[in-house]
Amino acid sequence: MNKKEKLATLGFVLLTLIYFLPKGLLTPVNPEEASFDGLNISTKCDSLKIQTVSTLENFSCTFTVSADETRIVNYTLHGISKGYVCTPEGVLLYAYFTTDSQSSMVFLDYNLSERWSREFPAYPLKYTKDGLILVSNPTFGSSGSSCVYVMNITTGRLLNWLCPDVLGGHVSDVKITGGGCTSPLGSREDLHWRSMP
pLDDT greater at residue 21 or residue 23: 21
Is the residue at 7 inside a domain?
no
- What's the number of CA atoms in the CB half-sphere (13 Å) around residue 67? 11
Say yes or no to pLDDT of 189 above 50.
no
**Most confident by average pLDDT, 98-102, 109-113, 172-176:** 109-113
Say yes or no to pLDDT of 102 above 80.
yes
Q: Do 61 and 79 contact (CB within 8 A), yes or no?
A: yes
Binning pLDDT at 50, 70 and 90, where does residue 127 land?
confident
Is the residue at 30 inside a domain?
no
End-to-end Cα spacing for the chain: 39
Is the residue at 52 inside a domain?
yes
pLDDT greater at residue 188 or residue 53: 53
Say yes or no to pLDDT of 25 above 50.
no
pLDDT value of position 188: 39
pLDDT value of position 185: 45
- At 137, the amino acid letter reads N
Taking the CB of residue 92, how many other CB atoms lie within 10 A of it? 23
Is the residue at 18 inside a domain?
no
pLDDT value of position 71: 84
- Mean pLDDT along residues 188-195: 32
The domain total for the chain is 1
pLDDT greater at residue 67 or residue 42: 67
pLDDT value of position 37: 44
Is the residue at 154 inside a domain?
yes
Residue 125, domain extent:
41-195
The Cα 162–Cα 146 span in angstroms is 9
Percent of the chain with pLDDT over 70: 65
pLDDT greater at residue 24 or residue 5: 5
- What's the number of CA atoms in the CB half-sphere (13 Å) around residue 128? 16
Q: Do 123 and 96 contact (CB within 8 A), yes or no?
A: yes
Is the residue at 179 inside a domain?
yes
Closest C-alpha to 82, from 101, 63, 64: 63
Where helices occur in 21-163 by DSSP H, the ranges are none
pLDDT value of position 76: 94
The Cα 125–Cα 25 span in angstroms is 32
Is the residue at 55 inside a domain?
yes
pLDDT value of position 176: 55
- At 28, the amino acid letter reads P
Is the residue at 186 inside a domain?
yes
